[in-house]
Chain A
Amino acid sequence: MEYFIELLFSGLTRGSIYALIALGYTMVYGIIGLINFAHGEMYMIGAFTGLIVAEILLIYQFPLPAVFVLTALAAVIWSSAYGFTVERIAYRPLRKAPRLAPLISAIGMSIFLQNYVQLVQTADFLPFPSLIPEFAFLEPYAGIIGSTDAAILVVSLIAMLLLSVMVKWTRIGKAMRATAQDQKMALLVGVNVDRIISFTFILGSGLAAIGGVLIASHVGQINVFIGFIAGIKAFTAAVLGGIGSIPGAVLGSYVLGLTESLTTGYVSSDYEDVFAFALLVLILIFRPSGLLGKASVDKV
């Protein structure tokens, strides 16, 4: 039983990370109908920026909580900056192009960013310092849930809560939903669509960066290729929940995280990635609208 609960918590932790990345995919898809292939790289860039900032702060012997907060902040700032820039360079000029053009451009951007970080940093694995202290009150449950897992759960839940509040009640959140529903109409009622799209990219990249720092601190090492696989899995989660839907992305992420953790715990870990890919293929074929998504109808 204890093993099951342990797997449950590790599944929830995984799910939270997937959710932080999947939200970026789903928001961008909801607004401009593009699979932002380079989104996984935002997560990777967040983790790398985090590593650099954390190491410097640790050398100057800052207290651990301050290091964590500043690292996350720096990761969010730079990752968002990259997200914004990528949209401006690679997607904005192609907004009216045929459907495949922005997708190919996104794939190119993903390859470009991966190799850019590899050139200016390194292709090897780098150790990532553990930024989350051991919480004393979690001591009795150490066998079930670690401090890092708890921190990941809490931080990601707070981030998701803030996001949903923002999307639901603030002015810019309303503008985002309007743009997602109908871009032309939103323009007509005075929404600055370009700015909303930029903002969506900034927001998505920022969330992915938080995920990157958290998971890097949990796993303890990073390299430039982490973005690709995490991106695909988060995309799977977004599609599973119904791409374009924000609650769907969160639900899909937790479903994917739990199934992955349970299958690797009880069956085998050899085919962990195959499982995620196979799941992706199956959903896209049998229920492309996902769990919570609406089936889209193409009008001619």
Chain B
Amino acid sequence: MITRHDLRHAGLTGLWFMFLTFPLVVIKINPIEHTVHWRWSNMVWIGVVSFLASLTIRLVQGRRRTGENEKQQSLLQTSVRQFDLLRRPAFFRAALITSSVLLISFPLFFSSYQVNILTTALMYVVLGLGLNIVVGMAGLLDLGYVAFYAVGAYTYALLHLHFNLGFWMVLPIGGLLGALFGLLLGFPVLRLRGDYLAIVTLAFGQIVRLILENWSEFSKGPSGIANIARPGLFGLTLSPEATITYLYYLMIGLVGLTVFVVNRLQNSRIGRAWQALREDEIACQAMGIDKTKIKLSAFALGATWAGMAGVFFAAKTTFVNPASFTFIESAIILCIVVLGGMGSIAGVMVGALILILLPEYLRAVADYRMLAFGAILVVMMIVRPQGLIAPKRRTYTLPSTHNPVNSSDVPASDR
């Protein structure tokens, strides 16, 4: 129950936040006309909201500590078990088929505007899955992932501009160049540990963007490159609506390919080596895994998808400029991976769809989009670091531990 102590704590928290946010939230000045605008109502809101939030958090924490809510605990566990349903092969197959059918028939029922939004969301699925290789599977925090995306987009833009190469020609080139840049980043950072690695990748991402912005002879600077051709379909000219639908199906194909490849990678020798690297670098080396090769392959394979998504992005928007490849973009992709569940393919897909589609459909949310992304990163780390759908660990159950009743008999006869 709510004690007086809880109330006092929540009250103090409310007061603290009212004080904390006072100058920034309440006062708004106009430095040109030198007028001050006081917004006292905001202060009341902050106070009330932080009071209630603090009270709720305290109650939840307090109950968890005293074990008062066994009923709710078990409720929580059943909901977790429902997540486990996803892991049952039959259910998984059914879900897969339903969602593919829904996705494929989507353009038949919805307007091209909706289709366009979904295409964007699917692009982020590919980006998220690519980053998932580096961050989720190999445990290397990459904050400059957007650089590879930029490499892909500019590959198509420049090759189209100078050599008039088509989309299909450039798609593999973009992927390869992405991988090459991944190696380029990977080589120098091989020796670095987690947090330093994050900062170097961040700097790398910034360097790529700043070069694109400043080296005007090469990239046309901040004004960008326009009039990039859309993907061709055997030389047919398509109407605008048909192009959108066509792009959508291409994207579906790319997502399908990504999911297939990433899934195969995850359970392969190299995928298991990544996971070993993530868990413990030293133990991983002791098991005879070549750290250099494994790290480089993670960077290269992760970057490949960003490169291909970049080519696709350039073809979809027909325009690229450096402003599309800021740190914020990297942060959004990271947020997708963290929310969905680092290392979990289904999780990343769900994360991308939630984070990209929600702000599109809830316009009220759109203004608070980046605010929410920041908050999600913090809250997920504290409350549920494994993400919405935790990655499945490959486990082998030994027969003796599988069924404890029989296990007492078996060793005897074995002996």
Q: How many whole Å from A258's CB to the nearest CB in chain B?
A: 20
Chain A hits for B382, CB < 8 A: 90, 93-94, 105
User: Which one, B82-90, B187-195, B250-258, B356-364, is touching chain A?
Assistant: B187-195
- A89–B385 Cα gap in the complex (Å)? 15
Query: When the two chains form their complex, are residues B210 and A94 in contact, meaning their CB atoms are under 8 A apart?
Result: no
Q: Could you tell me the dominant secondary structure of chain B's interface residues?
A: helix
A101 on the B face (CB < 8 A): yes
Query: When the two chains form their complex, are residues B139 and A100 in contact, meaning their CB atoms are under 8 A apart?
Result: yes
- A285–B334 Cα gap in the complex (Å)? 24
Query: When the two chains form their complex, are residues A105 and B206 in contact, meaning their CB atoms are under 8 A apart?
Result: no
Binary interface encoding of chain B residues 219-232 relative to chain A, with 1 for a CB under 8 A from any of its CBs, else 0: 00000000000000
Nearest to B46 among chain A residues (CB) is A120
A102 on the B face (CB < 8 A): yes
Given A90-B378, A109-B374, verify A271-B214 contact (CB < 8 Å).
yes
Chain A hits for B139, CB < 8 A: 100
Chain B hits for A51, CB < 8 A: 29, 31
Interface centre among B192, B327, B371 (most CB of A within 10 A): B371
Q: How many whole Å from A167's CB to the nearest CB in chain B?
A: 24
Query: When the two chains form their complex, are residues B23 and A55 in contact, meaning their CB atoms are under 8 A apart?
Result: no
Chain B hits for A271, CB < 8 A: 210, 214
A158 on the B face (CB < 8 A): no
Chain B hits for A274, CB < 8 A: 206-207, 210-211, 214
Given A108-B378, A284-B199, verify A127-B32 contact (CB < 8 Å).
yes
B25 on the A face (CB < 8 A): yes
Q: Could you tell me the dominant secondary structure of chain A's interface residues?
A: helix
Query: For the side of the interface on A, what is the size category?
Result: 35 or more
A188 on the B face (CB < 8 A): no
Chain B hits for A104, CB < 8 A: 141, 334, 338, 377, 381
Nearest to B25 among chain A residues (CB) is A120
Instruction: Give residues 119-136 of A contacting B (CB, 8 Å).
Output: 119-121, 126-129
- A56–B202 Cα gap in the complex (Å)? 38
A288 on the B face (CB < 8 A): yes
Query: When the two chains form their complex, are residues B381 and A101 in contact, meaning their CB atoms are under 8 A apart?
Result: yes
**Count, A-B residue pairs, CB within 8 A:** 164
- A102–B196 Cα gap in the complex (Å)? 14
Q: Which residue of B36, B282, B338, B378 is within 8 Å of A300 (Cβ)? A: B282
Query: When the two chains form their complex, are residues B374 and A112 in contact, meaning their CB atoms are under 8 A apart?
Result: yes
B368 on the A face (CB < 8 A): yes
- A89–B20 Cα gap in the complex (Å)? 14
Given A51-B31, A55-B31, verify A117-B24 contact (CB < 8 Å).
yes
A111 on the B face (CB < 8 A): yes
Binary interface encoding of chain A residues 254-275 relative to chain B, with 1 for a CB under 8 A from any of its CBs, else 0: 0000000000000000110110
Chain B hits for A78, CB < 8 A: 20, 22-24
Instruction: Give residues 4-21 of B contacting A (CB, 8 Å).
Output: 16, 19-21
Query: When the two chains form their complex, are residues B24 and A45 in contact, meaning their CB atoms are under 8 A apart?
Result: yes
Nearest to B189 among chain A residues (CB) is A285
- A284–B28 Cα gap in the complex (Å)? 41
Nearest to A58 among chain B residues (CB) is B34
Q: Which residue of A55, A103, A111, A129 is within 8 Å of B198 (Cβ)? A: A103
Nearest to A235 among chain B residues (CB) is B199
- A140–B382 Cα gap in the complex (Å)? 58
Query: When the two chains form their complex, are residues A48 and B24 in contact, meaning their CB atoms are under 8 A apart?
Result: yes
Interface residues of B (CB under 8 A from A): 16, 19-25, 27-29, 31-32, 34-36, 42, 139, 141, 143, 188-189, 191-192, 194-196, 198-200, 202-204, 206-207, 210-211, 214, 282, 327-328, 331, 334-335, 338, 367-368, 370-371, 373-378, 381-382, 385
> Can you name 18 A-B residue pairings with CB atoms under 8 Å?
A35-B195, A74-B23, A78-B24, A85-B20, A103-B198, A104-B377, A104-B381, A107-B143, A108-B375, A108-B381, A111-B370, A111-B373, A112-B371, A119-B367, A120-B28, A274-B214, A277-B203, A277-B210
Nearest 4 pairs between A and B by C-beta? A108-B377, A112-B374, A111-B374, A108-B378
Interface residues of A (CB under 8 A from B): 34-35, 45, 48-49, 51-53, 55-56, 58-59, 74, 78, 81-82, 85, 89-90, 93-94, 97, 99-105, 107-117, 119-121, 126-129, 228, 232, 235, 239, 270-271, 273-274, 277-278, 280-281, 284-285, 288, 300
